[in-house]
Structure formats: C-alpha cells, structure tokens
Amino acid sequence: MAAPARPWQATVLTLYPEMFPGPLGAAIAGRALAEGRWACRTVNIRDHATDRHRSVDDTPAGGGPGMVLRADVVAAALDAAADDTPVLALTPRGAPLDQPRVRALAAGPGVTLLCGRFEGFDERLFARRAIEEVSIGDYILSGGEVAAMVLLDACVRLLPGVMGAAQSGDDESFESGLLEHPHYTRPALWEGLEIPEVLRSGDHAKIAAWRLERSRADTRLRRPDLWQRHPDAADRSPSGARYQKKEE
C-alpha cells in the first residue's frame, strides 16, 4: 500500500527529545516511520523557557518535595507546536488509555503529546488549554516519555498499510471487548502437552467456535471487569458457571 499524502503526525513535547523515536524507530513502527506512514516531531519544552537559566520548573506552591512544570513555559511550547491534532497529556490521573480511544486517535490526523516530569504540570495549564489527560496504568513512571511511546505504538500499528492483512488486528485482545483466545504452534507435542485437538481438525467453523468460547471463558476468569461490560455476559453473577475455564 502506498504511503499516504500526509503522514499521521505525532508531535511530542518533552524535556528529553533525544528519547524519540527510540524504540519506535525499530520493527513495525520503525518501518512505518521510514515509509512515511507517520511522522515524529519533537519539541523541546526547554526551548520555550524565558529566563537565562532556561528554567522549566519551580518549587511547589504550598511547599512539599519535588518540582512542578511551569504552566507559562509549557503553554508557550504547546502554542508554538499547535497543529490540527488533539493534545493529550500523559498523567497518572488521566483517563485510562484503552483500545477504543487508540482506534479513534489512529483514525484522526495524529496527536500532540505532552510528557510530564518531576511532580507533573502546574494545574492552571489544564484550565487554560484544551488538553485531554490519559494514563497508561495505575503505577508511576519517572516521566511521560515512555507512556507517550506506548500510546504512539498502539496507534501506529493501526494506521493503514502498517500491518499486513494477516495481522489486521481485528481479532486482538480488547478489539471485541474480549481477551484474545490462546495460541499454539509446532511442535504438536511439547513437554507432554498437545495442541488442542480441535485446532488440528481443519474444521474452520469448529475452530472459530472454540476460539470464541475460549475468549469468553478467559475474559470472564482473567478480567471480570471487562466481562461485566460485555454483551455476551448473560450470566453476570460472580458464581456464574457458564464460562468456567475448561481444561484442554
């Protein structure tokens, strides 16, 4: 597939521009970058500092440990970088990033990502600029850059022409609200364990039914939170037996 006329544009505002594209310059994302399917631009927040020390942070009002990123400096960087892409800040308190949000972002023109450091951003930034906050999980990273890479990797693999038809991604975990079924490959017998018989049957309808059933059972057992939201969760009781995990 030919590269698009305009690549999906990632703009990353960071104190560490040298971290990009980093791991996104390799493998699937790296190939897509080289093919012009997406572009990665960094903006060094420090370039928008106004004092002679190029300060980007200051002590927290009210006292306490750490430093806080200044709203005026970050806003100046953001205003200078502005294009038609949505602005997202990586913050632990943000809305949890999920596959529907990733799909929506991948379908748009790109993203502008704000990477925090220290204790995070001066709160007034969020009052004065249209910024969506997203989190990649309930743990604390030292900075937003790795979180930005997670978000970009998830989006880039969905761009047209990035994955082959065989890896269209439609069956992956979360795409249907279910976890994906388990996978097996040769050898057929390994350490006394066989590949489930149905997968060797050649009966595509039976295989599809087995996979769907395993997706449902695994989701119910491993991620009851996802299962409770799924339309197939006819039996919503915690003790419901319909999708108990079956031994292979």
Which residues make up the interface to ligand SAM (CB under 6 A)?
Answer: 90-93, 115-117, 119-120, 135-137, 139-144, 147
Shortest Å distance, C-beta 74 to ligand SAM: 11
CB of 45 to ligand SAM, least distance (A): 12
Distance, C-alpha 198 to centroid of its chain: 34
Counting every residue written for the chain, the total comes to 248
User: CB of 92: closest distance to ligand SAM in angstroms?
Assistant: 4
CB 184 within 8 A of CB 190: no
Q: Please enumerate in sequence order all residues whose Cβ is within 8 A of that of 3, keeping only pairs 6 or more positions apart, or say none.
A: 35, 36, 37, 161
**Spatial separation of the C-alpha atoms in residues 86 and 246, rounded to whole Å:** 44
Say how far apart CA 35 and CA 42 lie, in whole Å: 19
- The secondary element (H helix, E strand) that includes residue 151 is helix 144-156
Q: Closer CB to ligand SAM, residue 149 or residue 217?
A: 149
For ligand SAM, the closer of residues 147 and 217 by Cβ is 147
CB-wise, 100 or 240, nearer to ligand SAM?
100
Nearer to ligand SAM, 95 or 221 (CB): 95
Q: Name the residue nearer to ligand SAM (CB basis): 23 or 92.
A: 92
Of 16, 15, 8, which is closest to residue 40 (Cα–Cα)? 8
Give min distance, CB of 68 to ligand SAM, in A: 9
- Shortest distance (Å) from residue 145 CB to ligand SAM: 8
Q: In angstroms, give the least distance from the CB of 8 to ligand SAM.
A: 21
Q: How far is CA 90 from the centre of its chain?
A: 11
For residues 134 and 178, which CB has a smaller minimum distance to ligand SAM in the complex?
Answer: 134
